[in-house]
């Protein structure tokens, strides 16, 4: 996936960085690892469009932005399941048991990975910041 570029980029002006608009066709009921190169956005908005309400995807992100982690759905903060590499299998089982809960997520604090659930419900908009 390649985001759009702002056309007014200058060396001294960071407004010309890549705009965080991604669009992709994916299979539902799968898990995806999303990598990016360069500056990560401070705020990411995720939505699974044109899916049935009972469909889902689990997104894995490398969360190395030095700020506090917050995931919200419709303005409501969602408490994470705190995980480590030693209980990764448990975290996977917990995520899979919550695949119909928009925004449910696990944060692996020892290697700064976040995995969260997106559902096909029309009001499921997950914000990662």
**How far is residue 97's CA from residue 111's CA, in Å, rounded to a whole number?**
23
Encode pLDDT of 89-98 as tens digits: 888 888 899 9
Estimate to the nearest angstrom the gap between the alpha carbon of 45 and the chain centroid.
Answer: 8
Separation between Cα atoms, residue 82 and residue 79, nearest integer Å: 9
* Residue 86 in this model has a pLDDT that exceeds 60: yes
Residue 76 is encoded by which pair of tokens? 């409501």
Q: Hey, what are 35's tokens? A: 């990598």
Answer yes or no: is pLDDT of 74 > 50: yes
> Is this prediction's pTM over 0.75?
yes
Q: In Å, what is the CA distance from 23 to each residue of 30, 75, 80, 87?
A: 17, 23, 26, 33
Q: What is the DSSP string of 11-69?
A: TTBGGGSBP--------SSEEEEE---SPPPSSEEEE-TT--TT-EEEEEEE---SS--
Strand-pair partners of 118: 57
34-46 per-position pLDDT tens digit: 887 766 777 788 8
């Amino acid at each position: 996936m390649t985001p759009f570029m702002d056309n007014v980029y200058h060396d001294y002006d960071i407004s010309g960085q890549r705009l965080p608009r991604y669009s992709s066709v994916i299979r539902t009921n799968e898990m995806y690892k999303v990598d990016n190169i360069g500056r990560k956005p401070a705020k990411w908005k995720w939505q699974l469009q044109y899916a049935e309400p009972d469909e889902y995807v689990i997104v894995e992100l490398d969360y190395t932005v030095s700020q506090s982690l917050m995931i919200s759905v419709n303005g409501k903060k969602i408490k994470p399941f705190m995980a480590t590499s030693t209980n990764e299998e448990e975290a996977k089982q917990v995520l899979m048991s919550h695949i119909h809960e928009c925004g449910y997520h696990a944060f692996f604090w020892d290697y700064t990975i976040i995995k969260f659930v997106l559902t096909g419900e029309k009001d499921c908009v997950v914000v990662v910041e």
